[in-house]
Amino acid sequence: MKLTNKANSIIKSRLTKQEKIISLCELVRDIPYENTGSHSLKDLVEKGRGSCTPKHIFLAKYLKKINVPVKFLITPFYYKKLKLAFPGSKGALLNEMPISYHTCLKARINRKWTIIDVTWDSKLKSFPINKNWDGQTNMKLAVTPESITEIKTDPRIFKRKQIKKYDQEEMRTIVKFYSFFGEFLLKSRK
């Protein structure tokens, strides 16, 4: 079943609002994480995989449909702080990666703003995955943030501005890193 159909099915179901929130979060969490180079919702739906930004934009769209107010959060972070076990010389890529920018959400649930982060899919065993979430407490963040900033604009616009700040060497490192990271994630899911 197509991703949008699954999300609409949850929205139209007889689940309680809390159960719908949890079900939508689980649905989006289990979209395989992959940096496809696109933040487009169309690409997320068509490819069935995506990075933090399109995953959280998709989730925000459906949470709003059940009257859950949402805000986008941006957290600058360094991949080296994820403590990933890259094999051999590939580990140096982690240290070379410039600061990156992670997207997640804050949602108003039961009159309280709650952090929601559905970045890593549940097949990525060595990542901080939000499983068995109660639908009320803050989720653990997918990254170790340098800071957390609430933004009022579309996170895609924010990220495009940040990407323009990288120099050529940083861009080469980013391209190398994500190429290897994609392979690393595939092996991590086995």
Sign of CA dihedral 139, 143, 146, 150: negative
- At 163, is the secondary structure helix, strand, or coil? helix
- What pTM did the predictor assign? 0.94
Q: What residue spans define the domains of the chain?
A: 3-188
> Could you tell me the CA-to-CA distances from 80 to 23, 143, 145 in Å, in that order?
31, 10, 12
pLDDT digits (tens, 9 = 90+) for 30-50: 999 998 877 888 889 889 999
> Residue 89 and residue 6: Cα distance in Å, rounded?
41
Q: What is the pLDDT of residue 104?
A: 98
**53 touches 39 (CB < 8 A):** yes
pLDDT digits (tens, 9 = 90+) for 73-107: 999 999 999 888 777 777 888 889 999 999 999 99
Copy the structure tokens of residue 68: 């859950």
Q: What is the pLDDT of residue 1?
A: 65
Class of domain 3-188: alpha beta
Q: What is the DSSP string of 83-139?
A: -----GGGHHHHHH---EEEEEEEEEETTEEEEE---S-TT-TTS----S--SSSPP
> Residue 2 and residue 190: Cα distance in Å, rounded?
24
**154 touches 117 (CB < 8 A):** no
> Could you tell me the CA-to-CA distances from 128 to 29, 75, 124, 142, 189 in Å, in that order?
12, 16, 9, 6, 14
> Residue 105 and residue 70: Cα distance in Å, rounded?
7
Q: What is the pLDDT of residue 92?
A: 85
Q: Which residues of the chain have pLDDT under 50?
A: none
